[in-house]
Structure 1
Amino acid sequence: MAWTRTYEEAEPQRVNRWLAQSGVCSRREAEALIAAGQVSIDGETVSDPGRKIEHGQTLTLDDGAQARLEGQMTVIINKPVGYVSAQPEPGQIPAARLLTRQGLWGDPAEIPAADRSLAPVGRLDLDSRGLLILSEDGVVTKAVIGPDSQMEKEYLVRVRGDIGEPVLDRLRHGLALDGRQLKPAKVTLAGDQRLRFILTEGRNRQIRRMCDLVGLSIIDLYRLRIGPLKVGDLPEGRWRLITAREREALITPGFSPKPVRRR
């Protein structure tokens, strides 16, 4: 069924911008749909990528556009230590190598071809483990790591060293990296020599560098959540597709997905 929505804003807006703000697709994807003749306003095919939609007009994406957008793949992996998130250096193994039929967990799914452009949405270091998102969906990518994203990323970290209150205070409020102050972090004790970090930014190797600055050394770093998406009971080294509800939760503030359990 074609996607249809009426524009209710008072001021006209470019079609590609409105579709991106509505969480339908990225601006670039909207422009590609327009170029393919798959977008219409009040029954008239849109041919100009700069076309604006006005109050009361109805925009429609045809069935082909819907199929094209729904075919964009997003997967999660419970990444083990020893795999890199993105382009490997010589001798390194990319996490995408785990996307095999044997590694698939749960419901049957298409196995992505080797040349499919599934990029990491929030990297995870070689020596870190846990939740890793790989996606070709521009809307998901923008929601998670776009410049305006405030999405939380949660980690459990086992450390060696003194983790008294002064150290916790510095981790929460008092650190800078590369000459720039870090955003406030939620850092709490999570057991013997274990810390829970909740961040809303993703500087390069941020937690490891934060711990170095306060004299802690990291033994294990595990990411268990990105926004509403949790690694759950996905076994280490396995992967699965995200569900439609999980995608909606990532791109729509306040929307809560149902937990995914293996059948």
Structure 2
Amino acid sequence: MRINKLLSNYGICSRKEANRIIEEGRIIVNGVKCITGQWVEETDDILLDNVPIKRKEKVYILLNKPVGVTCTAKEDVENNIISYLNYPEYIFPVGRLDKESQGLILLTNDGDLANKILESDNYHEKEYIVTLDKPYDDSFIDRMSSGVEIGDIKTRPCVLKKIDDITYSIILTQGLNKQIRKMSRTFGYKVIKLERIRIMNIKIDGLEYGKWRYVNNEEFKF
């Protein structure tokens, strides 16, 4: 695999950060200075700042994200999720939860697991509680459940349940950008609150707003 993918898989840094480290001449592979995009094997002798690299212990964190925090690892973005969490090791958010939304977001240094969760073809469930700006009727539930044309894409059928006149729960198996907001807007409704409460078997139950905890192995059974 390429050196930047290896460093990311080992939980050392992002692929972008790996390129910067390589350009600074800090990576040595089998006694030779590494170049950007170089292919390596795990059996190679790879040094970072003259110290052999090794896999970091995998970290899995669940954050009850507040509104206003942006799900990016980019340092130049104000109030980004990495700065908000201020975790001492390299981690990154798995997917996104838009700035105006709140609730469950996963952060990890495990690139392989992140890819499995994000792969659309795996049909992993994500559950949300949605509050609208005005009451809806039963036809709204039926039409949303059947799939909605947003732009040139029709969303997958999904599961909706009524909570009250302006609130519903929705279970998606895909993660289009601002999907729920766009789906609701198609029928003339504005989302005024959106909270993710579950990803697969991982639930936000009992976790205070703005707080985080580690995810246990049982929760990753899927």
State the alpha-carbon separation in 1 of the partners of residues 44 and 217 from structure 2: 26
Trace 1:32-111 onto structure 2 (pairs within 5 A).
33-35=42-44, 68=55, 71-87=57-73, 92-100=78-86, 111=87
Q: Are 1:138 and 2:111 an aligned pair? A: yes
Once the two structures are TM-superposed, the CA of residue 34 in structure 1 deviates from its matched residue by: 4.1
What is the CA–CA distance in structure 1 between the aligned matches of 2:9 and 2:202, rounded to whole Å?
24
Within 5 A, what are the aligned runs for 1:220-231?
220-231=193-204
Please name the residue that 1:105 is paired with: none
Aligned to 2:49: none
SS at match of 1:220: strand
Amino acid at match of 1:81: V
Q: Is the 8 A contact 1:98 1:237 kept in 2?
A: no
Are residue 175 (structure 1) and residue 175 (structure 2) matched? no
Tell whether the 8 Å contact from 2:160 to 2:169 is kept in structure 1 after alignment: yes
Deviating more after overlay: 135-144 vs 179-188: 135-144
Q: 2:132 aligns with which of 125, 140, 159?
A: 159
**One of 168, 173, 182 as aligned partner of 1:195:** 168
Q: CA deviation at 1:90?
A: 6.4
* Residue aligned with 2:55, SS: helix
2:99 is matched with which residue?
126
Q: CA RMSD in A?
A: 2.8
CA distance in 2 between counterparts of 1:29 and 1:88 reads 19
Q: What TM-score comes out, normalization by structure 1 length? A: 0.62
Q: Which runs of 4+ in 1 moved over 6 A?
A: none
Residues 120-176 of structure 1: per-residue CA shift (max 9 Å, x gap): 212001110000111221232122102422100000011123411221111111412
Q: Is the aligned partner of 1:112 residue 2:99?
A: no
Output the amino acid matched with 1:148: D
* Partner Cα distance (2:69, 2:9) in 1: 30
Count of aligned pairs: 183
- Residue 185 of structure 2 is aligned to residue 246 of structure 1: no
Where do 5+ consecutive residues of structure 2 fail to align? Answer: 11-39, 47-52
Amino acid at match of 1:112: P
Equivalent-residue separation in structure 2 for 1:126 and 1:85 (angstroms): 7
Distance 1:235 1:168 in 2: 30
TM-score (norm 2): 0.72
Distance 1:235 1:143 in 2: 27
Shift, 1:36, TM fit: 5.6
